[in-house]
Amino acid sequence: MVALARVIDSRVLVQLRLLGMAGLAFVVVGAFLVLFGKNPLLAYAEIFRGALGTSYGASEVIVRAIPLMLCAVATALPARMGLVNVGPEGQLHAGALAVTWGALTFGALPRPVFLPALVALGLLGGAIGAFVPALLRVKVGVNETISTLLLNYVIVLLVEHMVRGPWKDPMSFNWPYTPEFPDAARLSTYWGTRIHAGLWFALAAILLFYFTLRFTRWGYELRVIGDNPEAAGRAGIPIGRYTLLAMSIGGALAGLAGMAEICAIQGRLRPGISTGFGYTGFLVSWLALHHPLGIVVMAILLGVLSVGGDSIQISLGLPYATVNIITSLIFFIVLGSRFRRRATA
Amino acid sequence: MRRLGSGARHLDCSVTGVYLRLEGITKSFPGILANSNIHLEVGRGEILALLGENGAGKSTLMKVLYGFYRPDAGTISIDGRPVVLDSPSDAIRAGIGMVFQSFMLIPAFSVAENIALALPRLGVWLDSGQIRERLRDLASRYGLAADADAKVWQLSGGEQQRVEILKLLVSGARILILDEPTSVLAPHEVDGLFTVLRTLRDDGYTIVFITHKLREVMAIADRITVLRKGSVVGTVPRDGTSEEDLAEMLVGLRDVRATSFSRAAQASEARTVLSVDDVSVRGERGRAGLSHVSLHVDAGEIGGVAGVTGNGQSELGEVVLGRLSPDHGHVYLEDVDVTRWSTAKILAHGVGVIPEDPLRMGVAPGLTVTENMVLNERRRFMPGAGLYADWRAIRRAIEARIENFGLAIPRLTLPVGTLSGGNVQRLLLLREIGRRPKLLVAFYPTRGLDIAATRMAHDLLVAARNAGAAILVVSEDLDELFALCDRLVVFSRGTVVGTFKSGDVDAVEVGLRMTGGGKREAWSPSPA
Ligand SMILES: Nc1ncnc2c1ncn2[C@@H]1O[C@H](COP(=O)(O)OP(=O)(O)OP(=O)(O)O)[C@@H](O)[C@H]1O
Ligand SMILES: [Mg+2]
């Protein structure tokens, strides 16, 4: 009985402590808002009202949670074997590049062939974007944290180049974007909102992530590597192969997010298809400690903050950066406490 | 001989001038009471031995004393003053120092740097002159010499242990806790350690010493406290007890019959399973390496490798397991040349291994016992494409195996990192012997095991041998090697310096060969 109480105790306590620490971020930012003569309570109320108070707001939360979930899994999968993939942003854009190439090249295909082909291209593009740093790590020992981070800039700039140069829509009056994709290349949206079929991809990715880790030999071996690479190597688990695989699959999912963004939301490739979904997804993964259910919860939470950030901008004249600051403070506090516990435990 | 009952009881041996007192210490983890209302007293200038079976709660109690765990209840006082120890730094400030079951040194740092890290007040600049002077002083006082500039990775287990102890002394500890310090030492190094500990005791240090070996207890302890299942069974003065009494206190009324295994006669024309042929490996980073080593182990045979740790044994293991490719020579498994095979292929070919450092090399501490049990049989338990692991069925199979072997591991659903040191070793034994390997390479197979489990492990090894396995045991413990092995190979400085059939040789001869040629010894039993 006592023992049982203790088990529950410790689990609940950890969660409560995390929440409490997240609350701390709101207090700190609140103090600053007061300093600048704004009422923090009003601001926070507006964030949540804007995000959850209307059906439009709520649907937008889902719309933003979709790429966040995919990018979070892109970070979480390699993270479970001890790799730090900071590159979902770049991998998302790599997927978008591949998809755009397909959409512009095979414009006349029927939808049932066209869409799956674009999905495959999105996966492939993202996978290549992550395979390169993975290969660099395995072959020459380049740290993947740095290489994925740097590749983000390269790939995003490549997108800029393509939409201003080779792929620019001739009818665009010099705006930097590609021609609009044919209808057959568009993902369905539902319920008169912008919620789109990417939601199924995201949920499937989360489920698959959970199932693979827990119930397959692959997931098992991946977890062993993450827990003790030395023992994994001695047990004959091919760490290099897993590095390539986990990074590529992660990258593929981020690429899928890119596909969904351009085929559902934008309808074409242009700069700014992602408002930092890759980076925020990375954050979601770490906040969720790379656990599937936590990723869903955190993606929605950050979706709320993001939609709410828009609405405080509009109705209170506060900068959007306010929610960025809240998010990063939560991040620092949660991670900081993780490392502190590591150090003492 | 005085017969001792087995119920809980307190022998009141009044300690003159209690220095350290633990009262009513209770510590529980989810699902287990690791320490229950524990009382303990140690005097200044006294060595207390803490005895108990695997999982009895010894390490936990010492970690409470070191501020690593906070007790649920109970108080600690030093020199009559209660102290609150919320972290190891509190403990260090209170003059308590601990050497853990696994060392806590930074391998890439030098000895002096590691010691500097232990200083309570580490300034921005290292005053290495001062550290050196302290080291010289301690070396001459206690016979604890250490090369301040040597990097820790270059040191043998015994030498690293000496650095750990120096660290404690330099940081001003007056209470020294040593958790199974002798498990990493060769027998002659143990004598050296004991000499140092006695000198420290005579200088007024308070020492708590954990071991499973009753002989060591009788040799070094002033008093002995016995734990069983988290509670104190009793405390006795060394002079009023015997190994038999202690053994009985340890296990209670349980039957401690010596299950003497019967050795099946070896088949006269046994197949050779492992054959190492003229293998050489360059000794990297100042290590011994191997030079022209040849040995073989037959089916149904236990071969032993005797030698002081660091004389090429680990390189031998690495070569056999395909983790190190030799510069010269070949390795054959059942006449197949496996010299260039991958580790995965060699393991799949029926080779089992119990590594030198189980927690670091053999398990994933964050995964459960069940998950770790299948580590080297992944394809068997997750067959086919490996797309569905039925963990419940796997757990049942593991439970059946454990029952079958009779070596208990508590709670299969817990992370291995929470197991006691001895229980991790049990896990490895069960996992590797349970695979029924053709060849089992076992480093220090009974390290950290309690008396009963050691006996059981020996039985399991011999049973596996009788069933036709080839077993290579690497150990420093000559008693163990003599008890187990059919044949013995002695290693020194990376070469084979003797091969003996068991029965043809005595321990003195082997001991001489092991240490022959002036191998640097971590614990020279030199006078203080
Ligand atoms: N962090 C922890 N979480 C959960 N249980 C733990 C933890 N640490 C220890 N235990 C449990 O407490 C019990 C006592 O463990 P402890 O390490 O103190 O044993 P021990 O007497 O040192 O044994 P050994 O001789 O094998 O080293 C064991 O059952 C162990 O599994
Ligand atoms: Mg222990």
Residues in B 343-402 with any Cβ partner in A closer than 8 A: 343-348, 353, 355, 360-367, 371, 374-376, 378-379, 382, 386-389, 391
pLDDT score for A330 = 79
* Secondary element (H or E) of residue A220: helix A217-227
Q: Do B347 and A7 touch (CB under 8 A)?
A: no
Residue of B463, B457, B511, B486 whose CA lies nearest to B304:
B486
pLDDT digits (tens, 9 = 90+) for A126-147: 999 999 999 999 999 999 999 9
Residue of B119, B104, B75 whose CA lies nearest to B164:
B104
Residue where the block lists tokens 């391998």: B107
pLDDT score for B14 = 43
Mutation to probe ligand 1, out of B184, B420, B428 (largest number of atoms < 8 A from CB): B420
Cβ distance A43 to A33 under 8 Å? yes
Asked if the model's pLDDT at residue B224 lies above 70, the reply is yes
* Secondary element (H or E) of residue A70: helix A55-79
Measured in Å, residue B230 CA sits from the centre of ligand 1 at 9
C-alpha dist (Å) from residue A270 to A126, A194, A265, A278, B381 = 17, 18, 11, 16, 50
Beta bridge partners of B336: B333
Give the whole-angstrom CA distance, residue A285 versus residue A299.
9
What's CA B388's distance to the chain center, in Å?
Answer: 37
* Minimum distance, in Å, between the CA of residue A173 and any CA atom of chain B: 53
Comparison of pLDDT for A84 and B248, the residue scoring more: A84
Q: Which of A208, A228, A291 to mutate to test the interface with B (most CBs of B within 10 A)?
A: A228
* Secondary element (H or E) of residue A35: helix A2-35
Binned at pLDDT 50, 70 and 90, residue B176 comes out as very high
Give the whole-angstrom CA distance, residue B392 versus residue B358.
26
Q: Three-state SS for A260?
A: helix
pLDDT score for A312 = 79
Report strand pairing: B439-443 vs B470-475.
parallel
Q: Please tell me the number of the ligand nearest to residue B52's CA.
A: 1
Q: Do A218 and B386 touch (CB under 8 A)?
A: yes
Give the whole-angstrom CA distance, residue A311 versus residue B118.
54
Cβ pairs A/B, distance under 8 A? 85
Binned at pLDDT 50, 70 and 90, residue B169 comes out as confident
Which among B353, B361, B364 has CB closest to A227?
A: B364
Nearest chain B residue to A1, by CA: B31
Give the whole-angstrom CA distance, residue A99 versus residue B46.
76
Comparison of pLDDT for A34 and B122, the residue scoring more: A34
Q: Which residues surround ligand 2, an ion (CB under 5 A)?
A: B 59, 420-421
Q: Is B519 on the interface with A (CB under 8 A)?
A: no
C-alpha dist (Å) from residue A56 to A68, A192, B84, B261 = 19, 10, 56, 77
Give the whole-angstrom CA distance, residue B467 versus residue B362.
25
Give the whole-angstrom CA distance, residue A88 versus residue A77.
12
Q: Do A236 and B342 touch (CB under 8 A)?
A: yes
Percent of chain B with pLDDT over 70: 88
Binned at pLDDT 50, 70 and 90, residue B307 comes out as confident
| Range from A309-318, B4-13, B71-80, B497-506 carrying the lowest mean pLDDT | B4-13
B124 contacts: CB under 8 Å, gap ≥ 6: none
B514 contacts: CB under 8 Å, gap ≥ 6: B186, B306, B307, B308, B311, B490, B491, B492
Asked if the model's pLDDT at residue B2 lies above 60, the reply is no
pLDDT score for A1 = 37
Task: State the average pLDDT for chain B.
Answer: 84
Asked if the model's pLDDT at residue B122 lies above 90, the reply is no
Comparison of pLDDT for B445 and B111, the residue scoring more: B445
Comparison of pLDDT for B177 and B262, the residue scoring more: B177
The number of residues making up chain B comes to 528
Please state, as a whole number, how many other Cβ atoms lie within 10 Å of the Cβ of residue B262. Answer: 8
Q: Is B464 on the interface with A (CB under 8 A)?
A: no
Locate the domains of chain A by residue range.
61-309
pLDDT score for A16 = 67
Domains of chain B: 18-95+174-251 (3.40.50.300), 272-514 (3.40.50.300)
Amino acid at B336: V
Instruction: Pull the structure tokens for residue A310.
Output: 């828009």
Residue of A111, A109, A102, A64 whose CA lies nearest to A259:
A102
pLDDT digits (tens, 9 = 90+) for B86-101: 888 888 888 999 988 7
Beta bridge partners of B277: B330
Cβ distance A96 to A261 under 8 Å? yes
pLDDT score for A17 = 67
Q: Do B30 and A7 touch (CB under 8 A)?
A: yes
Residue of A285, A284, A258 whose CA lies nearest to A83:
A285
Determine which residue's CA is closest to atom 12 belonging to ligand 1.
B34
Give the whole-angstrom CA distance, residue A109 versus residue A114.
6
* Minimum distance, in Å, between the CA of residue A217 and any CA atom of chain B: 5
Q: Three-state SS for A84?
A: coil
pLDDT score for A229 = 95
A18 contacts: CB under 8 Å, gap ≥ 6: A334, A337
Cβ distance A115 to A54 under 8 Å? no
Residue of B401, B343, B406, B405 whose CA lies nearest to B370:
B401
Q: Do A227 and B28 touch (CB under 8 A)?
A: no
Residue of B200, B98, B111 whose CA lies nearest to B159:
B111
Cβ distance A223 to B364 under 8 Å? yes
In the 8-state DSSP scheme, what is residue A189? B
* Secondary element (H or E) of residue B47: strand B46-52
In the 8-state DSSP scheme, what is residue A345? -
Burial class (CB in 10 A: 0-12, 13-18, 19+), B355: buried
Asked if the model's pLDDT at residue B22 lies above 80, the reply is yes
For domain A61-309, which CATH number applies: 1.10.10, 1.20.1050, 3.40.50, 1.10.3470? 1.10.3470
Measured in Å, residue B412 CA sits from the centre of ligand 2 at 18
| DSSP track, B386-441 | -----HHHHHHHHHHHHHHHT-----TTSBGGGS-HHHHHHHHHHHHHHT--SEEE
Give the whole-angstrom CA distance, residue A27 versus residue A49.
19
Nearest chain B residue to A228, by CA: B364
Give the whole-angstrom CA distance, residue B35 versus residue B74.
11
Q: Do B375 and A231 touch (CB under 8 A)?
A: yes
Strand order through the sheet with B328-333: B290-298, B272-281, B328-333, B336-337
Please state, as a whole number, how many other Cβ atoms lie within 10 Å of the Cβ of residue B428. Answer: 26
Q: Three-state SS for B305?
A: strand
pLDDT digits (tens, 9 = 90+) for B31-50: 889 999 999 999 999 999 99
Which among A7, A228, A236 has CB closest to B31?
A: A7
Instruction: Pull the structure tokens for residue A313.
Output: 């901008």
Give the whole-angstrom CA distance, residue A256 versus residue A270.
16
Q: What are phi and psi of A245, to 5 degrees?
A: -70, -50
pLDDT score for B517 = 45
Q: State the average pLDDT over residues B113-126.
A: 68
pLDDT score for B518 = 39
The number of residues making up chain A comes to 345
Instruction: Pull the structure tokens for residue B371.
Output: 């998950």
Q: Which ranges of B181-232 does DSSP label H, i.e. alpha helix?
A: 187-202, 214-220
Binned at pLDDT 50, 70 and 90, residue B124 comes out as low
A173 contacts: CB under 8 Å, gap ≥ 6: none
Instruction: Pull the structure tokens for residue B78.
Output: 């030093």
Q: Do B378 and A221 touch (CB under 8 A)?
A: yes
Q: What's the angle, vertex CA B322, arms to CA B318 and CA B327, rounded to 5?
A: 80
Q: State the average pLDDT over residues B218-231.
A: 92
Q: State the average pLDDT over residues B464-480.
A: 89
Report strand pairing: B175-179 vs B96-99.
parallel
Q: State the average pLDDT over residues B219-228.
A: 93
Q: State the average pLDDT over residues B304-317.
A: 86
Q: Three-state SS for B514?
A: helix
Amino acid at A224: V
Binned at pLDDT 50, 70 and 90, residue B207 comes out as very high
* Minimum distance, in Å, between the CA of residue A7 and any CA atom of chain B: 5
Residue of B417, B410, B473, B486 whose CA lies nearest to B447:
B473
Asked if the model's pLDDT at residue B16 lies above 60, the reply is no
Q: Do B391 and A230 touch (CB under 8 A)?
A: no
Q: Three-state SS for A141?
A: coil
pLDDT score for A210 = 95
B418 contacts: CB under 8 Å, gap ≥ 6: B29
Cβ distance B450 to B480 under 8 Å? no
pLDDT, block means (10 residues), chain A with 345 residues: 43 63 79 80 82 85 95 96 94 95 85 89 96 95 92 93 83 80 82 88 96 94 95 95 97 96 87 89 89 91 86 78 81 67 41
ipTM of the complex: 0.83
pLDDT digits (tens, 9 = 90+) for A1-21: 344 444 444 555 665 666 677
pLDDT score for B266 = 64
pLDDT score for B519 = 40
Please state, as a whole number, how many other Cβ atoms lie within 10 Å of the Cβ of residue B247. Answer: 14
In the 8-state DSSP scheme, what is residue A324? H
pLDDT digits (tens, 9 = 90+) for B343-375: 999 999 999 999 988 888 999 999 999 999 999
pLDDT score for A305 = 86
pLDDT score for A247 = 97
pLDDT score for A155 = 95
Instruction: Pull the structure tokens for residue A96.
Output: 């978008």
What's CA A55's distance to the chain center, in Å?
Answer: 23
Asked if the model's pLDDT at residue B455 lies above 60, the reply is yes
Residue of A74, A22, A66, A58 whose CA lies nearest to A329:
A22
Which among B344, B346, B347 has CB closest to A238?
A: B344
